[in-house]
Structure 1
Amino acid sequence: MKSTQIPYITIIICLTTLIYSMGVALAVSGNLMGSVRITQLEPYGGVTFAHLENLELWRLLASQLIHVKQSHMLFNVLSLALLGFFLERRVHGFMFFLLWFIAGVAGTLVGTLFVTPPWNLGTGASQAVLGIAAFGLALFLRGAIQSRAFLIVLCFSLIPAFALDFIYAGYPKPGHVVPLLIGGIAGFVHCRQPSKALQHAPPRAGGV
């Protein structure tokens, strides 16, 4: 992809998260930036495996958008916007969305297994953001992206989530580890694929 391409998918995800999460906060608390209890998010997309058994598949997407605390939502949106600025221009937009969705859903559902009902609703974009960040970290480690600014973005996106895990739980939460693995594996696989420029390069003079 050209480096000048506008990261449309990132922009759409960020705007949709802002609008939906703040809209839900307004509907529940009467305040666009109001905090809500996680159990209050069930009608708006909070997800468990029981919901999926009832084929409420719309929750897989909606759960990535809603947040208990809007300050947390703003942090996730900012992290995704910064990551997407660097990364979406290097992969197809659909692939970027697919990674965001798969990493987010997997982390969200795994996280629900370690919380007792009725507080085991899966919500929030942290899992998806961590998947995207891990993808970017793999590209950075393989030298596909060489930018100090991007390294700062990676630290900004990754360190707070795992620091809070250790502070409040004493270990990385499984719901955060799973998307990290998914994004990291996807990143290393992506780096192993030859670029389009190499695939379509003309043969050398005198070559076979």
Structure 2
Amino acid sequence: MFIRRENFKQYIKSYPVVSTLLALNILIFIVTSLPIIGEPLFNKGIGFNLLISEGEYWRLVTPMFLHASVIHLLFNMFSLYLFGPELEHIAGKARFLTVYMLSGLVGTIASYFLHEWNYMHVGASGAIFGILGAFGALVYYTKHIMPQLKQVIVPLIVIGVIMTFVQSNINATAHISGLITGFIVGLSYFHPKRIAAWKKRKNSHLK
């Protein structure tokens, strides 16, 4: 399920939302790493609670597309590259994007309300954890039908949560709130009645 065998062209064609998010994050990292203009742009987008409280509300969104280092970027983008395609395939483009953006946004909002005024953060981790949360909801509904999915997702979530609290300089608030948001949204998207209704509408259009 999470082993990618597509070539570059097939990957982009099959998973346009994931591909766009990957390209956007990488491009923004390159631009914010450039001399002269990079640092001011980075500082303009970082999640900084004090400046958010003063009306710079774009900082609730922009941190999701900024990364502090190459390692930080690679870790998040590899996770998106690996886990994003299957969720985009299962949920659809719009629903996948909703899970991703809403989980990341809730992560930054929670960071604003639960941390001190001088707290600063960047990274797509909240959105990535939202993807895992959505898979958690899928496991909840399919645990008796697709036990192999449970065997993969549950350990990933457990390891992710443990690493959140073991590693230093991690925005645990964004991770956990993103995970919960993805799970709640996934419960709505993957509810058996909703899936059945969606299949019924799809079949009626094909007649």
CA contact (8 A) 2:125 2:174 kept: no
Alpha-carbon distance in 2 for matches of 1:49, 1:18: 25
Amino acid at match of 1:184: F
Which 10-residue stretch deviates more, 176-185 or 124-133? 176-185
Q: Deviations over 1:139-160 (max 9, x none)?
A: 123228848479547755x455
The alpha-carbon distance between structure 1 residues 155 and 40, as it changes in their structure 2 partners (threshold 3 A), is: farther
Which whole-Å deviations, capped at 9, do the CAs of 1:115-138 have from their partners, x for residues lacking one?
4454x1231100010011100121
Q: Counterpart in 1 of 2:26?
A: 18
Written as runs of structure 1 = structure 2, the 5 A alignment for 1:43-192 is 43=44, 45-52=45-52, 55-118=55-118, 120-143=119-142, 146=146, 148=148, 152=152, 155-156=155-156, 158-159=157-158, 161-168=160-167, 173-192=172-191
Q: Distance in 2 between matches of 1:106 and 1:53?
A: 16
Contact 1:76 1:125 in 2 (8 A): yes
Secondary structure of the residue aligned to 1:68 is: coil
Is contact 2:61-2:108 (8 Å) kept?
A: no
Using the alignment, how far apart are the partners of 2:147 and 2:73 within structure 1?
Answer: 26
- Quick one: distance in 2 between partners of 1:105 and 1:82? 21
**What's the % identity of the aligned pairs?**
20
- Matched residue type, 1:176: H
Aligned residues: 187
- Kept in 2, the 8 Å contact 1:28–1:40? The answer is no
Paired position in structure 2 for 1:206: none
1:7 aligns to 2:6 (yes or no): no
Question: What CA distance in whole angstroms lies between the structure 1 residues aligned with 2:59 and 2:84?
Answer: 23
Choose which of 172, 178, 200 in structure 2 pairs with 1:198: 200
The one-letter code sitting in structure 1 at the alignment partner of 2:195 is P
Alpha-carbon separation, structure 2, partners of 1:40 and 1:15:
18
Q: Which has the higher helix share?
A: 2
Contact 1:88–1:96, Cα closer than 8 Å, also in 2: yes
Going from structure 1 to structure 2, the CA distance change for 1:147 and 1:8 (only over 3 Å counts) comes to farther
Q: TM-score, normalised by structure 1?
A: 0.72
Query: SS of 1:64's equivalent?
Result: helix
Q: Tell me how large the CA RMSD over aligned residues is.
A: 3.5
Maintained 8 Å contact 2:49/2:117: no
Structure 2's unaligned 5+ residue stretches are 1-10
**AA partner of residue 123 (structure 1):** V
- Structure 1 residues not aligned, in runs of 5+: 31-35, 203-208
Deviates more, 1:175-184 or 1:104-113: 104-113
